[in-house]
Structure 1
């Protein structure tokens, strides 16, 4: 089949069957772009319909070979990938000690290693064209961790670090990288299809992680962020000629950034003398 290249932009979106991924895919198709929409079960992508620019494909991001196959299929169909949206992922709720080794490994396999698998599969084409934009979904939890979501936040801290390095490595090749940091948006993220809750509960954490478990049930589907407005921001980001390295979304994320900055300044000043005392002494004149 000859590649069809007459689309303004070609997207590859992981986790496109629900949440942000589904909404971004719909919006991109609606404006005439092509979308390679992926999910573990391709049947779950039926909600996207049969637009001419849609290529639905099965992808388990933890399968590196399958990620390579999907990238090759996208190039064969559309000739290029302009925007990669690394959106696939899930949450884990529970104190750090409560999480089992298997739970932690499964989380990292998807949220970190899966992102790396797909990114490595797509980057050769972007580097060859000297064009492209990688959008990595992090979270407000990638800026500040807290009780109950410590392991999940650690995966997003990893996404932040990887994205920052990728930004520096790819900027000379005209390939952009932006890490997106949503706060609490009204999606299904806190529901059972996107959030694993550790079954082990320790009484000593009832006042910390235990309170967060209860809060998650209250907050779910009542979050302050409007996911449709997030999609508008993502489309604007994809169109930007000089996109930012980071894009925090939501007033709750902005509040965390302000508080985090003030906290770091205060703590650094309080311990500055100790911090500065660890260099070798300057040689005597």
Structure 2
């Protein structure tokens, strides 16, 4: 399905669009509903095309621009790219395509991890594609040069899939999280940044392992609040934050299972929004847009 509707002028009543390759958007959404309770939100989970980690940059750009076109047809006033992989691969293409929109991406939390580190070593849990990206490597090098803090990055292969399946505390997930967290703790990291928006949903497991293994407190960093505060600043600057009225509405869409997304909303956030499943075709000429 392609979307080309010309949106109405952006106003404070217009919704905020949030999307991810799957349910990771919900970890950012919970901060948005807390800090911006009156704003309407459209949440899009591209679960039918998850995970993004194994896709090329061109494929990710195609997905991001397609989802953005759908959100734009809903007259959103801002788009939050609640996915580290999509942010790294496609946020510049998205900003070029929609220069009039507020576009906020997520970062893997390297900077706050370095700032809060007392040991001089900060850990980052992220997808393999995020860690392999040039943007991530350049960020780590810059932070180390500025702060002297060593960044220890750990790829968490398969963890997103476990979270998407709703297995937040299954034996397999517990073993997987321990396998990925231990090298950071053994390497001396006293802060751990959650470099994927899915990972806050297993933060209790990470915290339990850190408390069991580390003699010193370990700070775990979820960047969802910082992303939301950046969104709030930009809405205020443009005068389009919804400040009056009751709680905002949440409307959800997915390219995957409606039932699975409803269950994720209920179990993870205690919310019960309307959920609609639909097909969204890749954006045409996405790679051309990325080169413009």
Q: TM-score, normalised by structure 2?
A: 0.38
Ranked by relative contact order (alpha carbons within 8 Å, sequence separation 6 or more), the top structure is 2
TM-score (normalizing by structure 1): 0.39
